[in-house]
């Protein structure tokens, strides 16, 4: 095979979460990005309505981040993560700890949201064991939850297509109901009124298994990848109270909601509910370099700091935990967020976004619209016998018309970079309305 043929051969790459055969017949290749827009291989521009994959919160190709990454590669390209360190990883940990409410003041670095979830689950189990409660081994997730693709994440996750192919999951896992209630909450603006009582499912699971066996509950404050499911008013507060009552750790998966997506730095801030562990990734580096982090409470960290000082306290970690280049990207990202006030969006911007989302009501096939912060969802009526087909048709049509959206099932999920302007919101929803009018 010639060098030219190898460069143009799409077959070798087994693409993740992709209809490979369909894509390779008509590839959608991106070759550049700046600000709010991608550039395609055929020279068109796409308005990014998904922040890449929920991660490019500050917009593309931000100069401060680009410069920081280039400088770091030349200065220190890698430092061992075990028994060694480098200045930027400690600086980043301190800055992240300062962003969270007490007692979330310790950071364990990972390389992705999936790794953050598996790390948080392992910390939860090890914490109870360190306290002498090794019988607390059960992990509770939620139906329709998405917690990455590690075996821990898909076990506590609740999206069937992510689970059914891969055989036996982790043992000792159970699930509570999701919070989506279309009958009572369709077209909610912000937090739905109905459904706080769904949190009481946790009491039923506790009654079944006994609290003495349950280590942790993990939920997304806003369930993102399953289609933007907004928690009902009072729901998260109720979960926190139940966990406190039974000595169960509460884990918030903020891989999507973290770093400004809700108009506040984190869902912890938006809801005023403080869990014991928080998983993050995506927006931590603006999607520039893979990175994740788990925030842990002081109580959890201190529980491990016993025994001889020369002994490793937690036998867990990754070769690339706190990678120097990722740390440089993250620090520059935090600087960009701070300088431009991106983590605290004005009420006016949020209201404008909400009105734009709900302007789609009444268009063909739309059965629900929902929003929170700078997240939106358009739920479409599925085609009988062909689930996902209608939303995928909308995705393809949007690409043709210069708009990049994200679809999951028959739901269009919207999460633009936080730099989006009112004019770009108008452009986004004008194009999306035309797409919905055009598809069958």
Task: Please name which of 406, 296, 399 lies closest in space to residue 40, comparing C-alpha atoms.
Answer: 399
Total number of domains constituting the chain: 2
Kindly report the CATH number assigned to the domain that includes residue 152: 3.40.640.10
Mark whether 286 and 219 lie in a shared domain.
yes
Question: Is 4 a residue whose pLDDT tops 80?
Answer: no
Angle of CA points 432, 147, 169, to nearest 5°: 130
Mean per-residue pLDDT of the chain: 97
Mark whether 298 and 153 lie in a shared domain.
yes
Within a domain: residue 279? yes
Mean pLDDT of 45-59: 98
Mark whether 10 and 74 lie in a shared domain.
no
Mark whether 118 and 173 lie in a shared domain.
yes
Within a domain: residue 310? yes
Kindly report the CATH number assigned to the domain that includes residue 45: 3.90.1150.10
Spatial separation of the C-alpha atoms in residues 282 and 381, rounded to whole Å? 30
Within a domain: residue 62? no
Q: Which of 308, 340, 372 is the last residue of a domain?
A: 340
What letter does residue 60 receive in the DSSP assignment?
A: B
Mark whether 102 and 182 lie in a shared domain.
yes
Q: What is the pLDDT of residues 321-361, one digit of tens each?
A: 999 999 999 999 999 999 999 999 888 999 999 999 999 99
Mark whether 16 and 77 lie in a shared domain.
no
The predicted pLDDT at position 1 comes to: 46
Q: What is the pLDDT of residues 196-229, one digit of tens each?
A: 999 999 999 999 999 999 999 999 999 999 999 9
Domain of residue 418: give its range.
3-57+344-438
Mark whether 129 and 243 lie in a shared domain.
yes
Q: Which of 340, 360, 386 is the last residue of a domain?
A: 340
Mark whether 173 and 297 lie in a shared domain.
yes
Mark whether 390 and 272 lie in a shared domain.
no
Mark whether 332 and 383 lie in a shared domain.
no
- Per the DSSP assignment, residues forming a β-bridge with 369 are 378
Mark whether 128 and 277 lie in a shared domain.
yes
Spatial separation of the C-alpha atoms in residues 357 and 360, rounded to whole Å? 6
Angle of CA points 125, 269, 274, to nearest 5°: 30
Mark whether 128 and 223 lie in a shared domain.
yes
Q: Which of 286, 307, 340 is the last residue of a domain?
A: 340
């Amino acid at each position: 095979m010639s060098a030219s043929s190898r460069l143009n051969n799409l077959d070798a790459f087994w693409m993740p979460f992709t209809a490979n055969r369909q894509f390779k017949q008509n590839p959608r290749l991106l070759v550049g990005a700046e600000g709010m827009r991608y550039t395609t291989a055929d020279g068109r521009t796409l308005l990014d309505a998904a922040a890449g994959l929920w991660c490019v919160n500050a917009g593309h190709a931000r100069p401060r981040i680009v410069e920081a990454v280039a400088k770091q590669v030349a200065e220190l390209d890698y430092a061992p993560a075990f028994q060694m360190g480098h200045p930027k990883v400690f600086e980043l940990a301190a800055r992240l700890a300062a962003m969270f409410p007490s007692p979330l003041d310790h950071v364990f670095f990972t390389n992705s949201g999936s790794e953050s979830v598996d790390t948080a689950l392992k910390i939860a189990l090890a914490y109870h064991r360190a306290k002498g409660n090794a019988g607390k081994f059960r992990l509770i997730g939620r139906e329709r939850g998405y917690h990455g693709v590690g075996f821990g994440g898909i076990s506590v996750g609740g999206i069937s297509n992510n689970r059914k192919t891969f055989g036996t999951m982790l043992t000792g896992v159970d699930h509570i109901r999701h919070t989506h209630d279309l009958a009572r909450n369709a077209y909610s603006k912000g937090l739905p009124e109905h459904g706080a009582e769904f949190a009481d499912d946790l009491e039923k699971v506790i009654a079944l298994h006994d609290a003495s066996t349950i280590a942790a509950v993990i939920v997304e404050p806003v369930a993102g990848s399953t289609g933007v499911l907004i928690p009902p008013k009072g729901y998260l507060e109720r979960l926190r109270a139940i966990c406190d009552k039974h000595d169960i750790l509460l884990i918030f998966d903020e891989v999507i909601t973290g770093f400004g997506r809700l108009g506040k730095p984190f869902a912890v801030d938006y809801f005023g509910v403080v869990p014991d562990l928080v998983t993050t990734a995506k927006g931590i580096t603006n999607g520039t370099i893979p990175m994740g982090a788990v925030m842990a409470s002081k109580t959890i960290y201190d529980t491990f700091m016993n025994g001889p000082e020369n002994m490793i306290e937690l036998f867990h970690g990754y070769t690339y935990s706190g990678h120097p280049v990722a740390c440089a990207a993250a620090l520059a990202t935090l600087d960009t967020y701070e300088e431009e006030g991106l983590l605290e969006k004005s009420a006016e911007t949020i209201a404008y976004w909400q009105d734009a989302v709900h302007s789609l009501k009444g268009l063909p096939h739309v059965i629900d619209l929902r929003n929170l912060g700078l997240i939106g969802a358009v739920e479409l009526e599925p085609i009988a016998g062909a689930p996902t087909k209608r939303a995928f048709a909308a995705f393809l049509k949007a690409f043709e018309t210069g708009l990049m959206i994200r679809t999951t099932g028959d739901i269009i999920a919207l999460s633009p970079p936080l730099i989006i302007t009112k004019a770009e919101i108008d452009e986004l929803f004008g194009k999306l309305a035309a797409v919905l009018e055009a598809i069958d």
